[in-house]
Amino acid sequence: MKPVVIQNEAKLDLAEGMAWYESRSPGVGLRLQAEVELAIARLQRRPEWSMPYKRTGFRKQTVNHFPYCVFFMELPDCLWVAAIANMNRRPDYWRDRKWESE
pLDDT at 89: 83
Domain residue extents for the chain: 4-86
Determine the average pLDDT of the residues in 44-55.
Answer: 93
1-18 pLDDT, tens digit each: 899 999 999 999 999 999
What CATH fold (topology level) applies to the domain 4-86? YaeB-like fold (3.30.2310)
H/E run at residue 11: helix 8-24
Q: Give the dihedral sign, CA 18/90/36/14.
A: negative
15 and 21 in contact (C-beta within 8 Å)? no
Q: What is the pTM of this model?
A: 0.92
